[in-house]
Chains A and B, each alone.
Chain A
Amino acid sequence: MISYIFWFLSFTAVFSALATILSKNPVHSVLYIIVTFFSIAGHYFLLNAQFLAAVHIIVYAGAIMVLFLYVIMMLNLNRLEKEKTQNWMKLLSVVSAGLLMLVMVSAVGRASLMAGAGQPDETMGLTQALGQVLYRDYLLPFELSSILFLSAMVGAVYLSKKEPTTPPL
Chain B
Amino acid sequence: MFELFQVSRKFGVFPALEDITFNIMAGERVAVVGPSGAGKSTLIRLLNGTLFSTTGEVRVLGQRLDQLSPQALRQVQSRVGTVYQQFHLVDNLRVVHNLNAGHLNRWSLTKSLVSLIRPMDVQGAFNALEQVGIPEKLYERTDRLSGGQQQRVAIARVLIQDPEAILADEPISNLDPELSKEVIDILVDLSVCSGKTLFCSLHAIEFALSNFGRIIGLRRGRILFDSAAENVTDEMIKSVYRG
Pairing of A with B: no
Which A residues are closer than 8 A to B by beta carbons?
A: none
Which B residues are closer than 8 A to A by beta carbons?
A: none
